Amino acid sequence: MMELIAVAIITILAVISPGADFAMVTRNSYLYGRRAGLLAAAGIALGVQVHVTYTIMGIGFVISHSEFIFSAIKIVGAVYLIYVGYKTFFTKIRLNIDLSSSVSLSPMGALRTGFLTNALNPKTTLFVVSTYTQVVSPETSLSLQIAYGLFMSFTHWAWFSLVALFFSHATLREIMLSKQIVLNKTIGGVLMGLGVSLALSPMISG
């Protein structure tokens, strides 16, 4: 029971802390609408399962003790965030609230942005690996470990779905879209800043 409570508390705190996932869902929701935001949230939940799967399989232990592997993940994740941030920051396209313009984000594209943002995020790597290595007992059954992983994904999905619903609300979205040039530069700057800080953050020690 104590293990379950610890996993739940750590997961909730990790999910609600602002980061790349939050910025990406906000971006999709206000620019492309509710469906794009919700699909990004679903993609994030799927991304969490990538971390959970390799951790349970034991690869997480290798990552946590290999500076080279972890650094490679950091660089790829940083480049992706900087790329998306750059495109958002310098976009010259204005979208109408009814999305009548030809610019849109496909369902697969929306899902992919959420998935890649989380799957390539070392913050999630550290969160999942440290939870399983420091909190979950080696004697914990495989079925319960899998259940913990599903809970992590569900929590991410639930929280970021709420974020998507909030930022895609018609009134708020209309206000945000009317200021989209400023918001694009703000969100783009945040994503690029996260990418740069990620690339420059200290490496783990083996």
Whether the per-residue pLDDT at 181 is higher than 90: the answer is no
The answer as to whether 13 is a domain residue is no
The answer as to whether 168 is a domain residue is yes
As for how many domains the chain has, the answer is 1
Q: Which of 1, 25, 6, 26 is nearest to 177 (CA)?
A: 26
Question: pTM score > 0.85 for this model?
Answer: no
From CA 175, how far away is CA 146, in angstroms rounded? 42
pLDDT in the model for residue 39: 96
Q: Based on C-alpha coordinates, what's the Rg of the chain?
A: 18
pLDDT in the model for residue 100: 43
Structural domain span for residue 27: 2-6+22-200
The answer as to whether 15 is a domain residue is no
pLDDT digits (tens, 9 = 90+) for 23-45: 889 888 888 888 999 999 999 99
Whether the per-residue pLDDT at 104 is higher than 80: the answer is no
The answer as to whether 173 is a domain residue is yes
